[in-house]
Amino acid sequence: MNTLEQSAIQLNSILFAIDFTPGCLHAFPFAVSIARHYAGRLLLEHVMPGAGDRGLRHQSVTLHQLQSEMEAALAHVSVSLEGIAHEIHFDHGNISSKLLETAKQRHTDLMVVGTNGRRGVSKLWKGSTAEEIVFLATCPVLTAGPNVDRRPEFRRILCATDFSAAAKNAIPYALSLAEKYDASLAFLHVNDWSSTETPVQARPKTFEFVHEQLGRSLQGTAFESRCQVFVEFGPSSELILEAATDREADLIVMGRPAVSSIKARIASHLPGSTAYDVIAQAPCPVLSVPLRHAA
């Protein structure tokens, strides 16, 4: 990825998954905010579980009724779509599969998904649609969990990073959002207790890594003086969440390594990964950037 590509990230095509639940509607203001800042087009998609039109007729639901329900639900969020290009789309079938299919067909730049942060026995039994989408999407996914209490303006962005290729891929997004929202940007590197790397080694290595990544981006050269870099040692998800709370972060940005579809679907029913633990408990939205997405 060259400097020009890194500095020209756009989130022009945004897919918002709507299911009328409080968790979903909680995420809606963030989708609208990003669409405004990037002059993007917003697609609102509702997927009904069922077998196509046959399932729709069986439930005696019409598209007109669905659209009326959607408009009524969005009206309670008090967020205006005025001035934003948008459309509403309805589909039927497996929710995550249909949303991922739409994202691929529409060349979506960003998916926005609300989640109830299901954990424990509930997650084992019902699974997490949001986690499945995060791990299978080929574009970045912004999730808003049940603990999110931030306004849809990103003033303080926390980029949780390591030295992986996935982390490198996420940094340009953190920089782009920081530029669009005129936000401060902090980089956090967490070494868990199993790491053989000492604090003496980790801190300068982290500063060097971040400096190198910022140097690859036009935004980075302007933001470097405003960026903070810090290193913590311990459980990754706990320390990321603690840092987001202590620093009053409005957004967490994380890289996500690629996984197979089978592993993603199994993981959606099992105790959470670091990424899912952060998504489920964060006080702010989380942007997960997949390794395989070429920005």
Taking a C-beta distance cutoff of 8 angstroms, is the pair 79, 34 a contact?
no
CA distances from 175 to 102, 182, 217, 258 (A): 27, 10, 8, 22
CA distances from 192 to 126, 270, 281 (A): 30, 21, 19
Taking a C-beta distance cutoff of 8 angstroms, is the pair 44, 188 a contact?
no
Which pTM value belongs to this model? Answer: 0.83
Structure tokens at 217: 């981006």
Q: Is 287 helix (H, G, I), strand (E, B) or coil?
A: strand
Residue-level pLDDT at 141: 95
Same CATH topology for 10-114 and 156-280: the answer is: yes
CA 99 vs. chain centroid, Å, equals: 15
- Name the fold adopted by 156-280: Rossmann fold (3.40.50)
57 forms beta bridges with none
Residue-level pLDDT at 128: 63
DSSP code for 226: G
Domain regions of the chain by residue span: 10-114, 156-280
How far is it, in rounded angstroms, from Cα 217 to Cα 215?
Answer: 5
Give 262-266 contacts, CB < 8 A, sequence gap 24+: 263/135, 264/131, 264/132, 264/135, 264/136, 265/127, 265/132
How far is it, in rounded angstroms, from Cα 99 to Cα 78?
Answer: 25
Q: Tens place of pLDDT for every residue, the chain, 295 residues?
A: 443 344 478 899 999 998 767 677 888 899 999 999 999 999 999 888 765 544 444 444 556 666 676 666 666 667 778 889 998 888 888 888 899 999 999 999 999 998 875 543 333 333 367 778 888 899 999 999 889 988 899 999 999 988 788 888 899 999 999 999 999 999 998 876 666 667 677 778 888 888 887 877 656 566 666 788 888 888 888 999 999 999 999 999 999 876 545 444 444 433 456 777 898 899 999 999 998 644 4
- Name the fold adopted by 10-114: Rossmann fold (3.40.50)
How far is it, in rounded angstroms, from Cα 261 to Cα 265?
Answer: 6
Helices 236-246 & 274-281, crossing angle to 10 degrees?
30
